[in-house]
């Protein structure tokens, strides 16, 4: 009987913890977006080291329901060159971090 009560109490705590997480930046999203900007920081500027090619960013505009959101993510040099402004893409975001960019037809 005590084991059953303990199991029920643990289950309730787990459910309460899951329900209490209301941070909108947490979670997984796949959005259709358009590349609206490309930014490059030279080596040694911002957070870029003096070695290498610097930091590359893509700026996306996506529709989320009735709202339009703008996202700016650090990307690789290859992604920077592959997706010029105006490119339609699907971006996959997990916990407010860009996970994948897929080109759309």
**CB-count exposure of residue 93 (10 Å: 0-12, 13-18, 19+):** buried
Mind listing the pLDDT tens digit for each residue in 33-67?
999 999 998 887 666 666 678 899 999 999 988 99
Average pLDDT over residues 12-17: 49
- All structural domains of the chain with their residue ranges: 24-103
Q: In the CATH scheme, what is the code of domain 24-103?
A: 2.40.50.660
Mind listing the pLDDT tens digit for each residue in 74-99?
999 999 999 999 999 999 999 999 99
Could you tell me the pTM of the whole model?
0.70
pLDDT of residue 90: 97
Q: What confidence category does residue 27 fall into, taking pLDDT thresholds of 50, 70 and 90?
A: confident
Q: What angle do CA 59, 67, 55 make, to 5 degrees?
A: 15
CA distance 70 to 10: 40
């Amino acid at each position: 009987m005590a084991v059953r009560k303990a199991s029920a109490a643990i289950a309730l705590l787990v459910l309460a913890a899951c329900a209490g997480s209301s941070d909108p930046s947490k979670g997984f999203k796949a959005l259709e977006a358009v590349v609206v900007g490309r930014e490059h920081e030279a080596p040694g500027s911002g957070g870029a080291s003096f070695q290498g090619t610097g930091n590359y960013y893509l700026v996306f505009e996506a529709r989320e329901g009735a709202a339009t959101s703008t996202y700016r993510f650090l990307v690789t040099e290859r992604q920077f060159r592959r997706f010029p402004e105006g490119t339609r893409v699907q971006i996959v975001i997990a916990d407010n971090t860009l996970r994948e960019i897929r080109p759309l037809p």
